[in-house]
Structure 1
Amino acid sequence: MKSMTFGPWYHMIKRGDFLKGGFFMALNGIDVSQYQGNVDWNQVKGAGIAFAMLRGGYGKNNVDPYFHQNASACQKLGIPFGIYWFSYAYNAQMAAQEAEYCAALAKQYKVTWPLAYDLEYDTVRYAAQQGITIGKALATTMTAAFCDKVKASGYIPMYYSNLDYYRTMFDTERLPYDLWFAQYASAASVSDMAMWQYTSTGSVPGISGNCDRNYSYKDYGKGTVSPEPAPSVPDIYTVQSGDTLSGIALRFGTTVSSLAKINGISDPDVIYPGQVLRLSGSPVSGQTIYTVKAGDTLSKIAADFGTSYQTLAQLNGILSPDLIYPGQKLSIPSGSSTSISYYTIRPGDTLSGIALRFGTTVSRLQSLNNISDPDKIYAGTKIRIN
């Protein structure tokens, strides 16, 4: 076992931490998966291993083929263990579902250590193949979704990170969970970890080949905690990068259809970072839904419907009035009106002639109807005049 410097860890000591002779000590452990094959857990225990982290599985409920064998042996021999789940999620809902898979395995045993979320380079690579880029905001959101679900299931949440991802992929201020930190060095570069995976080339009796070795700076005891009462749902939520409406619904204990109805969202797949959503309350009645077109501005839409851009921004949770998108659905408040007129193009019509007839301009007609070439209009097409 490598020598440890105890002093820097005094500030982490809390109720339940492992103390011996008045000094803080590290517990010696391993983590294993199918790649370690058949493990002789009797020898492992005899070698002084105090805990194990077992891979439960990966992705969409792919259970590690050695998990049940390892978990049964640990439980029989009284070796405390936790479970980690290798993630192939690329949104918060998928990450929360992976937590449910992990918790379902834990319920079959006396799991005494955390359930850990394992997001690594292969997670990001797989997401990229699906056309999704996982950055810091999305990685943090997915980690929070996994850990929140674990906690709600009555277990202790944890997340795994190496130094690279600790610096670039996780917003630790949004992750108030225990950190399982991986750095293969003589000393770790962070001080807020609960567990340190310090080598991937460890040797332990009872295991053929290399295995990961860990120090834990917490003794989790029985490990499980009673599920906390569900937190009160806030009135509003600001959409973050990587959020989906289904993920938000899952996080706050509601449904996609309810959120869509309350917020006047016609397409649940279209929400935007910075958009403010109401999480509860009655649907707003008497509203018109308008689909933003290329070239639209919020002030122009407001003028068309006889309202103000401030009213539209507040009603639709728009933080910046300059940021609206073609295809975005906007709720128009009841009582707003404008005398919108339409005209069906006839053979021989020109856009300039139509503009002249109705006292408007060619450019205005182009903007209202998304016409890129004013010389190309077609008989039978219905266009908006104002």
Structure 2
Amino acid sequence: MWKGIDVSDNQGVIDWEQVATAKVSFAILRSVRWSGKTDYQFAVNLEGCRKYGIPVSVYKYTYATTPEAARQEAQQVVELLRSDDVTSTMVWWDVEDKDVLRPLGAAKLTECIRAAREVITAAGYGFGLYVGLYVYKERWFDFNAFAGTRLWIARYYRGYRTMRFDDEPDQKFKPDVDGDISGWQYTSCGEIPGIKGDVDLDIAYEDPMLWSQPAVEPGVIYTVSVADVWTKELAEIARQQFAARGIVGVVHKVKILG
């Protein structure tokens, strides 16, 4: 497991040297505010993480109620990342607003998230979902439509009692979902050197460095076969011909439609 933080301009000016000394394994930075403007501390937070070698991903708290609005929000994130020369990272799509998003209903919200994912992945970034456990349990949207998408889930099992960064969260309170999760935000009342006041603390269940890798091609899989033939006899002939040339398979790129 890897322990990290997620931050925004709500944390003010952060001393990233102290944060790095506390052995933070990753940081998730807020990217764009509701207004469409960049988080006021994004540039200096990104610079601090780069300086001290802290792996970075970003999040966007969405208010989009239509696919068009979701695409616009996602494009704002893409433009910010490109402007700061962030060529590959994970964008966590933060779906938790009870007043704006829950009234949409599952079908409409699912379409909004799909639209955002389309923009993010087409730009070459990874796409993940951040939700409170209540969002998952109440099925605000169709989670099956995002099978294979990384999940980062919040569950605060100690209420609003302060937890220090070096405290170990009790794994028996890990969010209970169908399948694995990539991350658990276990408190919003964390305490860590270098940050004044409360900060969200997180656990990653996979190496956060993987979140900085280039995104896979959306809607594309690869298969390997010897040849595409109609009969068993032709298949055997093709196998022998390929084997004589030292070829054990042919790679096919398959576009998934629909």
Q: How does the TM-score come out when normalised to structure 1? A: 0.49
- Structure 2 vs 1, CA of residues 206 and 111 (structure 1 numbering), >3 Å: closer, same or farther? farther
Structure-2 residue corresponding to 1:125: 99
1:44-86 CA-partner distances (Å, limit 9, x unpaired)? 0000101000001233522111111111111122111111011
Looking at structure 2, the residues matched to 226 and 182 of structure 1 have their Cα atoms a distance apart, in angstroms, of 24
For residue 102 of structure 1, report the CA deviation from its aligned partner. 1.1
Determine if the alignment matches structure 1 residue 173 to structure 2 residue 162. no
| Alpha-carbon RMSD | 2.2
Match of 1:225 among 192, 205, 214: 214
Runs of 5+ consecutive residues of structure 1 not aligned to the other structure: 1-25, 238-386
- Structure 2 vs 1, CA of residues 173 and 46 (structure 1 numbering), >3 Å: closer, same or farther? same
Identity of aligned residues (%): 33
Structure-2 residue corresponding to 1:105: 80
Higher strand share: 2
- Please say which structure displays the higher CA radius of gyration: 1
Runs of 5+ consecutive residues of structure 2 not aligned to the other structure: 158-169, 221-254
Match of 1:212 among 185, 200, 210: 200
Match of 1:146 among 86, 106, 116: 116
Looking at structure 2, the residues matched to 113 and 159 of structure 1 have their Cα atoms a distance apart, in angstroms, of 14
1:251-308 CA-partner distances (Å, limit 9, x unpaired)? xxxxxxxxxxxxxxxxxxxxxxxxxxxxxxxxxxxxxxxxxxxxxxxxxxxxxxxxxx
The residue identity in structure 2 corresponding to 1:50 is: S
Structure-2 residue corresponding to 1:137: 107
Determine if the alignment matches structure 1 residue 74 to structure 2 residue 44. no
Q: Give the conservation status (yes or no) of the 8 Å contact 2:126–2:216.
A: no
Alignment size in residue pairs: 204
| Over 3 Å off, 4+ runs | 109-113, 229-234
For residue 40 of structure 1, report the CA deviation from its aligned partner. 0.2
Structure-2 residue corresponding to 1:202: 190
* Deviation larger for 105-114 or 75-84: 105-114
Q: Give the conservation status (yes or no) of the 8 Å contact 1:58–1:87.
A: no
For residue 148 of structure 1, report the CA deviation from its aligned partner. 2.5
Looking at structure 1, the residues matched to 56 and 13 of structure 2 have their Cα atoms a distance apart, in angstroms, of 17
Q: How does the TM-score come out when normalised to structure 2? A: 0.72
1:125-181 CA-partner distances (Å, limit 9, x unpaired)? 2469xxxx3112222222222122211111110111111111221311101310110
1:320-341 CA-partner distances (Å, limit 9, x unpaired)? xxxxxxxxxxxxxxxxxxxxxx
The within-5 A match list for 1:167-316 is: 167-168=137-138, 169-176=140-147, 177-185=149-157, 186=170, 187-188=173-174, 189-190=176-177, 191-221=179-209, 223-225=212-214, 228=217
Q: Secondary structure at the match of 1:31?
A: strand
Q: Secondary structure at the match of 1:57?
A: coil
Looking at structure 2, the residues matched to 50 and 39 of structure 1 have their Cα atoms a distance apart, in angstroms, of 16
Structure-1 residue corresponding to 2:226: none
1:336-376 CA-partner distances (Å, limit 9, x unpaired)? xxxxxxxxxxxxxxxxxxxxxxxxxxxxxxxxxxxxxxxxx
For residue 227 of structure 1, report the CA deviation from its aligned partner. 5.9
Looking at structure 1, the residues matched to 218 and 146 of structure 2 have their Cα atoms a distance apart, in angstroms, of 19
Looking at structure 2, the residues matched to 216 and 233 of structure 1 have their Cα atoms a distance apart, in angstroms, of 30
Structure-1 residue corresponding to 2:240: none
Determine if the alignment matches structure 1 residue 56 to structure 2 residue 28. no
Q: Which has the higher contact order (CA 8 A, sep 6+)?
A: 2
Q: Give the conservation status (yes or no) of the 8 Å contact 2:90–2:125.
A: yes
For residue 110 of structure 1, report the CA deviation from its aligned partner. 3.7
Looking at structure 2, the residues matched to 59 and 142 of structure 1 have their Cα atoms a distance apart, in angstroms, of 16
For residue 233 of structure 1, report the CA deviation from its aligned partner. 8.4
Q: Give the conservation status (yes or no) of the 8 Å contact 2:121–2:218.
A: no
Looking at structure 2, the residues matched to 226 and 196 of structure 1 have their Cα atoms a distance apart, in angstroms, of 22
The residue identity in structure 1 corresponding to 2:43 is: H
1:192-242 CA-partner distances (Å, limit 9, x unpaired)? 2111101111111000011000001111436232562776685xx7xxxxx
Q: Give the conservation status (yes or no) of the 8 Å contact 1:148–1:157.
A: no
